[in-house]
Amino acid sequence: MLDKASSKTNGQACFAVMVPDFRFGNGICLDPAAHSGSILKDGFLGIDSKAMTADHDQAMLDRGLSGMGEWHRRFGKQARYVFWCLFGRQIHDRMAGRHISDGVYRHPVFNYGDVVHAFPHLDIVDLWPLLKWPIHELRRIYIDSSSHPSQIGYLFLNDILLNGTDVVKAYEKSVAEVEAIYHDLADRAFKAKKRKILLTGQSVWLDTFMAYMGSQGVEKLAAAGLVLAPLNPTQGQPSIAQLRRSMNLDDCAVVLMSAGGTDLSDSLAQAFDIHADAWKNISCIDWESATIPAITGRRETPQFTKLDPTLPKSDAAIVPDLIPSMVEQGPLGMPSWTGILHILDLIASQNVSTVALSSVQDAPAKGPAGAYRVENDVLLTEEGVAFLIGGNHSVLKYATGKLAPAQSSLDAFAENMAARQELADRYQIPYAHVIFPDKQSVNPEAFPFQPVHRLGDIYRERLPAPLRNRVLYPADMLHGEADPSFLALDTHLTDHGSLAVLRLMLQMTGIEADHALSRIRRRITKFQRWSGDLGSKFTPPLDQEGLLLDPDWQVADFRSPGGFNDGMVDILLSPDAPNNRTILLFGDSFFRMMLKHLSAVFTRVICLRTRFLHEEMITLIRPDIIFTGNAERYLSTVSPDTEAQAFALYPHLRNASDLAFDRPFLDAWAAVTAPRSSHARRFAQQLGIRPAR
């Protein structure tokens, strides 16, 4: 960058330098080979959390100050500097109450005043005079805690760096310019709806907009016709309760923002003291979902901090049309300046219907749930749909929110996912985990108890984003499928439901198999009538009807003996499969119900019945792809993988009496656990399958 700047100046032109966070590139502290030579080095980007120690912070400050000296020696008075990030650090630290003792702020290493005073000979635009305002007033020049400038910040920087305007005057001018635009849009919305707008809900769009408000911004905007009342309190701004005491909101037209288009009725009911049913059908703007194409188009994975996946979807969500420039860089989906204006313009248009808050207050509550009966821990609705509600996993208590998973269970799941992903990375094998949703999670409208709490959402949401993206929880996808996803009298998916899950599993691991998936769909044709695992619990047993997969491809099926669950082995070998790979599954009956589906795609399908991932089996089988999985109800209690015994010991630990394998299974088991052996080659040749790669 130093050389690039030199090529642009020609010894005459002046330019401005926004000095970045001194921690940028701190990974250099972890690389001894990079410590020698020039103080200015390329190749170290971003902030490495492993290098965030007091010693490394001091080292980076020293490097930064030395680097500033290099820039001054090169450019002298041609350069004008502003310590934008360092000033922002102070703003955000003070807002959070960090590094303050006896009312005085002082960071252990990075202090704005110290750095500015260290360079009396540099042309520095000093931001210190801005501190005459309250800290949450100055927050409006930044859109986030990483000190990225807001539109106010950009106007301010342009004025102080290029025009040389006094920082206080430049700040006041920038604020006035942005507020004038907001107030004009608020006035347009007021005239279009013929009443003030009450904008509430939960979204990163609302959070970003609130950051622009400053100490008096909410009151000014309300006077112009737009009342901001986010569900999440904003520091320095009035709460919903305070707004309700200070102004009459009854005649306001309500507009909701909801991350992911989720149903916020319970939170809104608590905030506004209006029963939840009254909020159910009010339109909401789903900003977060609208940002997904822009984020993924930049090869990033969305990380929506305001999305609560445990909430059901609203039936009245509006996903606005956006262009990428309306979304800030990064995975959070924050709106840019144009993104903020776009939504304000949308609110003022006829495309967003509104209802007066007084009408919401008068809406009646809904009636009681439909009739049902319970027998042997199974609930049967009057429509003939059965739900497992009891048993060892207390399904009903978790589904209604009366029970919540223990922190130790949440931690075990997160630790398992992290360790499994690390193991897969070490073996360089694609990996994903599948949470097979319970029936009430997919079809909540058929369940008599509302709202439905979903364990899959709770566990998945607790994971960091990279791990969350390796966990498939297809409840919403299955709800939208054209074919029924669940059997009426069974806890398991239909074969169409299993096919839908398989499609997502392949997508997550980067495998294209459209022809095989189409072939599977065409073969779900076999009519059968039987008692499902829930129908069989009634007296007399109840029967269900359905279509099952009837393969028209060759597949040899081998199963270990014994009636136990843990330790059971299924091996399917298909000479007709288009993908000559070995897929290894660690899981329960949901995987076992889709093994024939998998045999249409992969030559070798091995399923091990276990709640754990057993590394020794990966070493033996040498799979090309790994999936782990569990039924959602099993998330009631999760055990860490560190408790796993060797997989081969399961029958012995159960004191099984007959441990002998039949010859066909033994031959298959020997072949897949020693895939490079001469026996495996001979066995593959006998079945007409290609040897393992």
What value does the mean pLDDT take over residues 95-113? 91
Q: Check pLDDT > 80 for residue 355.
A: no
Total domains in the fold of the chain: 3
Q: Check pLDDT > 70 for residue 334.
A: yes
**Amino acid identity for residue 662 in this structure:** D
Q: Cβ distance 51 to 25 under 8 Å? A: no
Among 335, 362, 389, the domain-final residue is: 362
In a domain, residue 482? The reply is yes
Q: Check pLDDT > 80 for residue 412.
A: yes
Q: Cβ distance 537 to 513 under 8 Å? A: no
Mean pLDDT: which of 26-35, 36-45, 402-411 is highest? 402-411
In a domain, residue 349? The reply is yes
Same-domain check for residues 91 and 213:
no
Same-domain check for residues 345 and 379:
no
Same-domain check for residues 244 and 392:
no
In a domain, residue 170? The reply is no
The confidence band for 365, taking pLDDT boundaries of 50, 70 and 90, is very low
The residue written with tokens 């897929």 in the block is 583
Q: Cβ distance 239 to 264 under 8 Å? A: no
Read off the pLDDT of residues 38-90 as tens digits, 9 standing for 90 and up: 777 666 778 888 989 999 999 999 999 998 888 888 888 888 999 999 999 99
The confidence band for 33, taking pLDDT boundaries of 50, 70 and 90, is confident
In a domain, residue 99? The reply is yes
pLDDT of residue 532: 93
Q: Cβ distance 420 to 431 under 8 Å? A: yes
Can you read off the two tokens belonging to residue 367? Answer: 């009636």
Read off the pLDDT of residues 541-557 as tens digits, 9 standing for 90 and up: 999 999 999 999 999 99
Same-domain check for residues 323 and 414:
no
The confidence band for 32, taking pLDDT boundaries of 50, 70 and 90, is confident
In a domain, residue 171? The reply is no
Query: What angle (nearest 5°) sits at the alpha carbon of residue 474, between those of residues 468 and 478?
Result: 165
Q: Cβ distance 52 to 26 under 8 Å? A: yes
Same-domain check for residues 451 and 419:
yes
Task: Identify whether 575 is preceded by a cis peptide bond (ω within 30 of 0).
Answer: no
Task: Identify whether 149 is preceded by a cis peptide bond (ω within 30 of 0).
Answer: no
Read off the pLDDT of residues 169-205 as tens digits, 9 standing for 90 and up: 999 999 999 999 999 999 999 998 888 999 999 999 9
Q: Check pLDDT > 90 for residue 16.
A: no
pLDDT of residue 3: 67
Within 10 angstroms of residue 652's Cβ, the number of other Cβ atoms is 12
The pLDDT > 70 percentage for the chain reads: 94
Same-domain check for residues 381 and 279:
no
pLDDT of residue 279: 82
Among 339, 362, 385, the domain-final residue is: 362
Within 10 angstroms of residue 147's Cβ, the number of other Cβ atoms is 20
pLDDT of residue 564: 64
- CA–CA distance, 307 with 261 (Å, rounded to integer): 9
Angle in degrees, 0-180, between the axes of helices 678-687 and 663-673, rounded to the nearest 10: 120
pLDDT of residue 364: 42
The confidence band for 599, taking pLDDT boundaries of 50, 70 and 90, is very high
Same-domain check for residues 392 and 489:
yes
- CA–CA distance, 636 with 404 (Å, rounded to integer): 8
Q: Check pLDDT > 80 for residue 363.
A: no
Same-domain check for residues 354 and 380:
no
In a domain, residue 29? The reply is yes
Q: Is the model more confident about 565 or about 304?
A: 304
Among 362, 397, 424, the domain-final residue is: 362
Domain extent at residue 423:
374-687
Q: Which residues make beta-bridge pairs with 675?
A: none
pLDDT of residue 353: 66
Same-domain check for residues 288 and 186:
yes
Same-domain check for residues 55 and 12:
yes
In a domain, residue 168? The reply is no
pLDDT of residue 567: 93
Mean pLDDT of the chain: 90
Same-domain check for residues 490 and 517:
yes
Q: Check pLDDT > 80 for residue 351.
A: no
- CA–CA distance, 321 with 338 (Å, rounded to integer): 13
pLDDT of residue 367: 38
Read off the pLDDT of residues 471-506 as tens digits, 9 standing for 90 and up: 999 999 999 898 999 999 999 999 999 999 999 999
**Amino acid identity for residue 195 in this structure:** R
pLDDT of residue 360: 63
What value does the mean pLDDT take over residues 614-641? 97
Read off the pLDDT of residues 126-174 as tens digits, 9 standing for 90 and up: 999 999 888 888 999 999 888 999 999 999 999 999 899 999 999 999 9
Read off the pLDDT of residues 290-333 as tens digits, 9 standing for 90 and up: 999 999 999 999 999 999 888 998 877 899 999 999 999 999 99
Judged by DSSP in three states, 434 sits in strand
Read off the pLDDT of residues 418-448 as tens digits, 9 standing for 90 and up: 999 999 999 999 999 999 999 999 999 999 9
In a domain, residue 138? The reply is no
* Secondary element (H or E) of residue 606: strand 602-609
- Please enumerate in sequence order all residues whose Cβ is within 8 A of that of 475, keeping only pairs 6 or more positions apart, or say none: 437, 441, 442, 454, 456, 457
Same-domain check for residues 33 and 113:
yes
* Burial (CB count <10 Å: 0-12, 13-18, 19+), residue 222: buried
pLDDT of residue 289: 96
The confidence band for 535, taking pLDDT boundaries of 50, 70 and 90, is very high
Within 10 angstroms of residue 254's Cβ, the number of other Cβ atoms is 25
